[in-house]
Amino acid sequence: MRDPTQSGPHRAKRSLGQNFLVDGNVQRRIVESLKPNLIDEVMEIGPGQGALTQHLAGRVRRLILVELDNNLAARLQEKYADTPGVEIIHEDVLRVPLERVSQDPRGLKVIGNIPYNITTPILFGLLERRPRPREIVVMIQREVADRILAPAGGKTYGALAVGIRSIATVERVLNVSREAFRPVPDVMSSVIRIVPMDPPPLTEADERTLRSLTRAAFGQRRKQFQRILRDRYGLSAEQVEEVAVETGMDLQSRPEQFEPQRFIDLARALHARGY
């Protein structure tokens, strides 16, 4: 059998979202934004040919690389066999719970230039389950970063922004041009840093209500919030009024007018009424 670690250049697989970051300056800026240090445990999602890995290996206590591609995983295994603290999990990241990666997932830092076709499942996989990692630095499609960071009231503000910003703070670290990758992708990219709030602002049960509320709200974004509460949750007119007073919200407005924090208030008020 041919040894994958000895074969020539790797041929990028589109199906696995393989666009490799070749700009060394961008590689370094991404890694530095995680402020790696010798007590850290870091999980890297989709290390590929090691664009970020090379700047992290040896600088952190443990570096866990989660790579699905057979050929790339074998090459990483070979390359980092003698580097203390580096481990490779050759699997689909969506099937790797954080408890398997670390004994202390709450202290874990996550980094990755992730496959864009599974951005949402990766982010929600990390943020909806508990325990959550300490922070996440990821390269994603710029348009998705714009939606996550969109101000309330705008057209692109929606379930993604509320889902993430209600439980974490998010900042854009940098924008990255298409030319920084090989092969050159069709879309532009951004690096964002997500820090889950600690302690979490909502209980797990309140969070389930928040998710159902967000889905209902942005599934029907032309409707006033009070209509959604009546139609989706069966609230009476009096209950809607009570909730409006309790949360201080004008429920005649549309959901897109409200900041993520207001969705938290509303989810709490609904949950307290048994929803």
Can you give the binding site for ligand SAM, defined by CB under 6 A?
A: 16-21, 45-49, 51-52, 66-69, 72, 92-94, 113, 115, 118
Least Cβ distance, residue 71 to ligand SAM (angstroms):
9
**Was 67 annotated as part of a binding site?**
yes
**Was 154 annotated as part of a binding site?**
no
Least Cβ distance, residue 178 to ligand SAM (angstroms):
12
Kindly tell me the number of DSSP H helices and DSSP E strands found in the chain: 11, 9
Nearer to ligand SAM, 49 or 226 (CB): 49
Nearer to ligand SAM, 60 or 264 (CB): 60
**Was 113 annotated as part of a binding site?**
yes
In this structure, the chain runs to a length of 275
CB 42 within 8 Å of CB 110: yes
**Was 126 annotated as part of a binding site?**
no
Which alpha helices (H) appear in 129-259, and where do they start and end? Answer: 142-149, 159-165, 204-219, 225-233, 237-247
Q: How far apart are the first and last CA of the chain?
A: 58
Q: SS3 for 129?
A: coil
Report phi then psi at 131, rounded to 5. -70, 155
CB 168 within 8 Å of CB 204: no
CB 179 within 8 Å of CB 227: no
| DSSP-derived pairing of the beta strands 181-182 and 20-21 | antiparallel
Residue, CB closest to ligand SAM? 46
Nearer to ligand SAM, 189 or 247 (CB): 189
Give dist(CA 5, CA 79) in Å, integer.
9
Nearer to ligand SAM, 40 or 69 (CB): 69
Give dist(CA 209, CA 189) in Å, integer.
32
**Was 117 annotated as part of a binding site?**
no
Structure-token pair, residue 181: 């990758």
Nearer to ligand SAM, 17 or 200 (CB): 17
Nearer to ligand SAM, 6 or 15 (CB): 15
Least Cβ distance, residue 118 to ligand SAM (angstroms):
6
Least Cβ distance, residue 8 to ligand SAM (angstroms):
17
**Was 204 annotated as part of a binding site?**
no
Least Cβ distance, residue 204 to ligand SAM (angstroms):
26
Closest CA to 183 of 7, 10, 33: 10
Strand order, beta sheet including 86-89: 86-89, 62-66, 41-45, 109-113, 135-141, 189-196, 168-176
Least Cβ distance, residue 10 to ligand SAM (angstroms):
9
Least Cβ distance, residue 112 to ligand SAM (angstroms):
6
Nearer to ligand SAM, 137 or 249 (CB): 137
Binding residues: 19, 21, 46, 67, 92, 113
Binding residues for S-adenosyl-L-methionine: 19, 21, 46, 67, 92, 113
